[in-house]
Amino acid sequence: MIVRIVRHAAVAALLLALCGAAAAQDYKIGVINTDRILRESAPAKDAARKIEQEFAAREATLARLDRELRDVTSQLERGGTMTEADRAAKQREAETRGRELERTRRQLAEDLKARQFDEMGKIKERLDVVLTKLAKDQGYDLILQDGLFVRRSVDITDAVIKALESAR
């Protein structure tokens, strides 16, 4: 949040500085929506599919552990003709399985987050290269990220998404 506020303040200061010079010279400015690029571009979609495939087996294991815990819990609830020793053993088994499930769930979430962060980092590196090339090729003086209000005339998000896809 603070980073966004600082970014917006820096953009505002830069735009104010440019306004004074703008009377003497016209500037070509573009604005991109980074979130949209990271959500809709082909490299982002490819990364999401890749990660989904990578984690499919672990998610299946998590689902299996969840089913096993529910089965043990169900056996405990039904009880039937279980002795106290059997009931205590089932209770310990349920607790152990519950802890294992939570540990596995946390580890999966951490690994998934790290993997997503890694892939987004790669996409952002490519994005920087594409933006630099686009700015040079199309004569942009300034490209900003995530403006508070952006007119369609300066929004170049679609062009950047297309450039990212063609740079594959």
The total of structural domains in the chain comes to 1
Q: In 10 A of CB 159, how many CB atoms?
A: 14
Quick one: pLDDT band at residue 29, thresholds 50, 70, 90? very high
- pLDDT at residue 55 above 50? yes
Residue 95 CA to its chain's centroid (Å): 33
Question: Which residue from 168, 144, 148 is spatially nearest to 27, judged by alpha carbons?
Answer: 144
Out of 68-82, 106-120, 142-156, the most confident range is: 106-120
Q: What does the pLDDT read at residue 11?
A: 55
Are the CB atoms for 144 and 11 separated by under 8 Å? yes
Rounded to the nearest 10 degrees, how much is the dihedral formed by the CA atoms of 74, 78, 84, 89?
Answer: -10
What is the full DSSP assignment across 20-35? HHHTTS---EEEE-HH
Question: Which residue from 116, 121, 136, 104 is spatially nearest to 52, judged by alpha carbons?
Answer: 116
For the entire predicted model, the pTM comes to: 0.70
Q: Which amino acid is at 102?
A: E
Pick the residue with more confidence: 24 or 36?
36
- pLDDT at residue 32 above 80? yes
| Domain limits for position 47 | 2-166
Of the listed ranges 16-30, 78-92, 100-114, 147-161, the one predicted with least confidence: 16-30
CATH code at position 113: 3.30.910.20
In angstroms, the CA 149 to CA 143 distance is 14
Q: What does the pLDDT read at residue 4?
A: 57
